[in-house]
Amino acid sequence: MTSFAPALSFAFEIRARVAPSLDVARGGPVTEFTPITGGTVAGPRLTGTVLAGGGDWSSTSRADGVCRLEARYLIRADDGAVIDIVNRGFYRPDAGTAAQRDGDLTVAADGLYFRTSPVFHTDAPAHRWLAETVFVGLARDEDDVIAIRLYAVE
């Protein structure tokens, strides 16, 4: 039996501008909503803009500080097609071996594991491949921008 491992290929980077977070819940798990105010999409497989109006809900409910993320927003591709994205993931402090990886697959300088798994929805024929592909996102926080490099799983 031959074994195989999936390969990752860089598809595009989303740079979502965000406004200050709002506290949603008090007295239980920390829950915040971070409004998405716009942004850009650029890469070899997709270019466009992030539309204002979406947001990210994050919740820290574990004692170890792991934060669960769920963002939902819209992208307008350069050809005018509107694409819905639901991007779920986690971030956590990571002092382990991930910082030793080569190439683009490294943690941010602040030592966070910040990974997402987006799902796309669109009926635009030119972009249907987005809804038929599994992606892994490597994210980093750059002040008022969340940058997410998206890799297609081949």
- What average pLDDT does this structure show over 93-111? 49
Q: What pLDDT, on a 0 to 100 scale, did the predictor assign at position 7? A: 93
Residue 107's pLDDT band, with cuts at 50, 70 and 90, is: very low
Of 43, 147, 36, give the one whose Cα is nearest residue 84. Answer: 36
**Could you tell me the residue ranges of all domains in the chain?**
8-153
Provide the mean pLDDT of the chain: 86
- β-pair partners for 9: 152
The pLDDT of residue 26 is 66
Which residue would you say has higher pLDDT here, 105 or 135? 135
Is pTM beyond 0.95? Reply is: no
Q: Are strands 48-50 and 67-77 parallel, antiparallel or unpaired?
A: antiparallel
Cα dihedral value 25, 34, 141, 48, nearest 10: 150
pLDDT digits (tens, 9 = 90+) for 4-63: 889 999 999 999 999 998 888 666 667 889 999 999 999 999 999 999 999 999 887 667
Q: What dotted CATH number matches 8-153? A: 2.40.160.20
The mean pLDDT value for 60-84 works out to 89
